[in-house]
Amino acid sequence: MNDPSLYASVNVVTRRDAKYLIDSYFDKIKWLPNGGDLVLDIGCGDGAVTYELLLEYVPKTVEMIVGTDVSLTMLKYANNSYQHPKLQFQHLDIATESLPKQYFGKFDHVFSNYCLHWVQDQRQAFQNIYDSLKPNGDVLVAYLAEYPLFSIYETISKLKKWEPYMIDYKKFVSPYHNNFDTENNHKDILKNIGYDYVECKCERRTFVYKDLISWRKIVQSVNPFVERIPESKRDEYIDELMLESKKRGLIRENTEGVTIPYELLIVYAQKRTKLELDTKRA
């Protein structure tokens, strides 16, 4: 996903769900009584959710929000589009095996919306989040466990014509796709790392795109393979994805809208207090 302008024009679902996350789960966050909180936003993308929602809804006493992303193109767009004294954008791959020193024990809260399904090594990502938190810090994230496009990629990647462009398709499918015990499996990862008060919830949600063109735009904008396909074949490739959407009943005859069911994994967890951590170590 390296086209911030296209992304910015179609990201209605991620915005809707970021607002839902804020409305339904923000009251769990342990804001510092005297303010000065530092907040890390992972996978900030074009920066719209960081600026328009996160910055808007955190308490006014928050000191700084640091939006991070693995894509330099996204960061450049975010930096050019959103400036505020309480906002910074930085480059970070949350799946890195060596978290840069400056992130260790720095943040009071970590937030992330619609990013972590891109990360196959969930343990590494949540270890990095843990390491970036101060004692008593907390994390609130939402990302896709299931999404119709994951199965569609699976099917299309087996077709001879498209196989060469989609050999690594699994990298772009949530690690929880087709997992029947996502909540418990994810909880185990977090408990093993050392998180406390772990809550993992898979919520079934739907989004209705008003017409076929809107769904086609989404299919195109979030597709990681399309750039590898020669331009002359791209329309045919997207047609194939649309046909598969129809076969799977997402696009119904005689109705304009396209109904997309999906599962959102919502995770809230805390790092222990300094006293608890010291006692555990002793």
Which residue ranges make up the site for ligand SAM (CB under 6 A)? 1, 11, 14, 18, 42-45, 49, 69-71, 74, 92-95, 113-115, 118-119
Q: How many CA atoms lie within 13 A of 191 on its CB side?
A: 10
Residue 30: which H helix or E strand, with range?
A: none
In the bound state with ligand SAM, the residue whose beta carbon lies nearer, of 71 and 127, is: 71
State which residue, 1 or 265, has the beta carbon closest to ligand SAM.
Answer: 1
Q: How far is the CB of 42 from ligand SAM (least distance, A)?
A: 6
Least Å distance, CB 143 to ligand SAM, is: 9
151: exposed, middle or buried (Cβ count in 10 Å: 0-12, 13-18, 19+): middle
140 Cβ contact list (under 8 Å, min separation 6):
21, 25, 26, 28, 29, 109, 110, 111, 266, 267, 268
CB of 140 to ligand SAM, least distance (A): 13
Question: Nearest-CB residue to ligand SAM?
Answer: 45
Say if residues 68 and 93 touch (Cβ distance below 8 Å): no
Q: Are strands 258-270 and 107-113 parallel, antiparallel or unpaired?
A: unpaired
Output the smallest distance, CB 238 to ligand SAM, in A.
19
Task: Indicate the residue among 6 and 238 with the shorter CB distance to ligand SAM.
Answer: 6
Helix residue spans in the chain (DSSP H): 4-10, 12-25, 48, 55-57, 72-81, 122-132, 148-156, 182-193, 212-221, 231-247, 274-281
For the bound state, the minimum distance from the C-beta of residue 156 to ligand SAM, rounded and expressed in Å, comes to 20
Please give the helix or strand (H or E) that residue 248 lies within, else none.
none
Least distance CB 125 / ligand SAM (angstroms) = 7
Closest CB 81 distance from ligand SAM, rounded Å: 13
Nearest CB to ligand SAM, comparing residues 174 and 270: 174
- C-beta closer to ligand SAM: residue 21 or 250: 21
Report, in Å, the least distance between residue 44 CB and ligand SAM. 5
**Residue whose tokens read 């750039």:** 227
Nearer to ligand SAM, 121 or 196 (CB): 121
Of 144 and 241, which CB lies nearer to ligand SAM in the complex structure?
A: 144
Between strands 258-270 and 196-209, the pairing is: antiparallel
Query: 43 vs 137, which CB is nearer to ligand SAM?
Result: 43
Neighbours of 232 (CB within 10 A): 7
The helix (run of H) or strand (run of E) holding residue 196 is: strand 196-209
Which amino acid is located at 55 in the chain?
L
